[in-house]
């Protein structure tokens, strides 16, 4: 049986335009993500964000939790620049230098995304990022409701 979770506008601006499917028929439910998310509106792509502050300095060198919090703050700022928020995110892609960092990444994500609004997600362990002190990078795709 397919499990559809239609987003509602219960206090979250603009989220009624998205539909999340946690477990399509024949697919085992994911833990901490939706298998499928679709929507109508304006597409927003946010480049991979790393743990840089507004001055370009690395935040939390050696600390995956601190880096993850900064990454999600940077994603928030980028989404806001496009008139979007985390409630509009349909896909996150995580690039981590060690999969052991994923619990810290999920904890930071859970601070900004409600458990009933989890986007589709992929996580990839990479040999390195473009600077050795960086532990993770996260990119986001969002769909913002069409102006009406």
pLDDT digits (tens, 9 = 90+) for 114-124: 999 999 999 99
Percentage of the chain exceeding pLDDT 90: 81
Neighbours of 25 (CB within 10 A): 8
For the sheet with 36-39, list strands across it.
3-6, 18-23, 36-39
> For 81-118, what is each residue's pLDDT tens digit?
999 999 999 999 999 999 999 999 999 999 999 999 99
- Is residue 47 helix, strand or coil? strand
**What is the pTM for the complete model shown?**
0.85
H or E element that contains 77: helix 64-81
């Amino acid at each position: 049986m397919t499990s559809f979770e239609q987003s509602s506008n219960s206090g979250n601006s603009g989220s009624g335009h998205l539909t999340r499917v946690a477990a399509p028929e024949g697919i085992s439910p994911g833990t901490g993500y939706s298998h499928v998310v679709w929507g109508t509106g304006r597409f927003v792509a946010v480049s991979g964000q790393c743990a840089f502050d507004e001055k370009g300095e690395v935040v939390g060198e050696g600390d995956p939790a601190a880096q993850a919090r900064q990454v999600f703050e940077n994603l928030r700022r980028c989404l806001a620049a496009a008139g979007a928020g985390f409630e509009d995110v349909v896909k996150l892609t995580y690039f981590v230098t060690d999969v052991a960092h994923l619990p810290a990444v999920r904890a930071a994500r859970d601070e900004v995304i409600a458990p009933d609004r989890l986007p589709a997600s992929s996580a990839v362990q990479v040999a390195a990022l473009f600077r050795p002190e960086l532990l993770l990078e996260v990119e986001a795709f969002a769909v913002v409701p069409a102006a009406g």
